[in-house]
């Protein structure tokens, strides 16, 4: 009969076996990142920030990551779009500043399952176009069953260099995230598990470009996107007071999944 091994980690379906836990393992991938940060209304944004967290600034960051040469996918690739806010977790033991992703759309199943089960990263599916590049213009779109709900555009300026490049490298160096692992009860309201997880990750930037970034949301109906329309509506409703930073960066993202831990 199948038995769980104490030195292994498992994902469903568990009975086909797991992997021996390796605390030094890490996921690596080449990345092209398009990031647009904007200031919004604090009260509106705080509606989506759990009470266990403190919003550090009324600021939203929408980022496309186009990932290739992924070691844990045998050189495969996928795209993601994340929407996050800067927060602070203040617990009995831990005081941590990190990004809190409100939602992350991804266009492959494997990364969705790993992030959701293990670290509470709020990943859901969407079709995400590779970047359309006609320099200095870059663009992508995000859709569900043929219905586009987000368009990202970027007009690059000259490459960053010197102190500006070093500052960009420092900003991307630490991109830790806090996930909320919420496992609902079966057949009853409430949760069997509700905990906040620190997920450490870094981006080693090789090149970066400043420029003008724009976002265009399109709200969808229940019939167009029955499980996500309310998420899209909430994000589209957040006012954009001003865009504070738009950056296109190229480099390597390193995910230290084995170093993730429960915050207390």
Cα maximum dimension of the chain: 62
Cβ count near 118 (within 10 Å): 17
CA atoms within 13 A on the CB side of 152: 29
- For residue 248, the cross-strand partners are 34, 209
Structure confidence by residue, pLDDT tens digits, 143-152: 999 999 999 9
3-class DSSP state of 183:
strand
- Count of other CB atoms within 10 angstroms of residue 239: 11
Q: What is the pLDDT of residues 227-261, one digit of tens each?
A: 999 999 999 999 999 999 999 999 999 998 889 99
For the chain, domain boundaries = 23-255
Report the 3 state secondary structure along 5-36: CCCEECCCCHHHCCEECCCCCCEEEEEEEEEE
For residue 187, is it left (φ>0), alpha (ψ between -120 and 50) or beta? left
Beta strand pairing call for 95-106 and 123-125? parallel
The span from the CA of 15 to the CA of 28, in Å, is 28
Q: What is the pLDDT of residues 118-135, one digit of tens each?
A: 899 999 999 999 999 999
The tokens for 173 are 């160096």
For 50-101, the pLDDT digits (tens) are 999 999 999 999 999 999 999 999 999 999 999 999 999 999 999 999 999 9
- Burial profile 32-66: b = 16 or more Cβ within 10 angstroms, e = fewer: bbbbbbbbbeeeebeebeeeebebeebbbbbbbbb
For residues 213 and 153, the answer to whether their CB atoms sit within 8 Å is yes
- pTM, two decimal places: 0.96
Q: Is 228 helix (H, G, I), strand (E, B) or coil?
A: coil
Q: Residues of the chain with pLDDT > 90: what percent?
A: 92
By the 8 A CB rule, do 179 and 115 touch?
yes
Q: Please give the full DSSP string across 230-251, using - where no structure is assigned.
A: HHHHHHHHS---EEEEEEEEEE
Architecture of the domain whose range is 23-255 = Beta Barrel (2.40)
């Amino acid at each position: 009969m199948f038995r769980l091994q104490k030195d292994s980690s498992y994902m469903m379906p568990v009975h086909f076996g797991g992997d021996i836990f390796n605390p030094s393992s890490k996921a690596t991938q080449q990345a092209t990142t398009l990031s647009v940060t904007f200031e919004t209304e604090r009260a509106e944004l705080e509606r989506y920030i759990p009470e266990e967290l403190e919003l550090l600034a009324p600021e939203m960051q929408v980022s496309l990551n186009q990932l290739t040469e992924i070691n844990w996918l045998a050189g495969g690739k996928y795209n993601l779009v994340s929407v996050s806010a800067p927060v602070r977790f203040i617990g009995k033991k831990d005081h941590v500043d990190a990004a809190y992703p409100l939602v992350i759309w991804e266009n492959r199943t494997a990364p969705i399952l790993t992030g959701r089960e293990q670290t509470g990263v709020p990943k859901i599916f969407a079709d995400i176009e590779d970047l359309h590049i006609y320099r200095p213009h870059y663009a992508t779109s995000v859709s569900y069953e043929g219905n586009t709900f987000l368009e990202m555009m970027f007009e690059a300026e000259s490459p960053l260099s010197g102190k500006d490049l070093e500052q960009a490298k420092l900003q991307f160096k630490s991109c830790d995230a806090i996930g909320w692992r919420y496992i609902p009860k079966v057949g009853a309201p409430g949760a069997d598990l509700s905990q906040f997880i620190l997920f450490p990750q870094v981006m080693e930037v090789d090149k970066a470009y400043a420029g003008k970034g724009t976002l265009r949301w399109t709200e969808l109906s229940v019939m167009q996107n029955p499980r996500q329309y309310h998420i899209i509506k909430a994000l589209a409703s957040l006012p954009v007071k001003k865009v504070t930073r738009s950056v296109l960066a190229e480099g390597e993202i390193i995910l230290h999944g084995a170093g993730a831990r429960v915050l207390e």
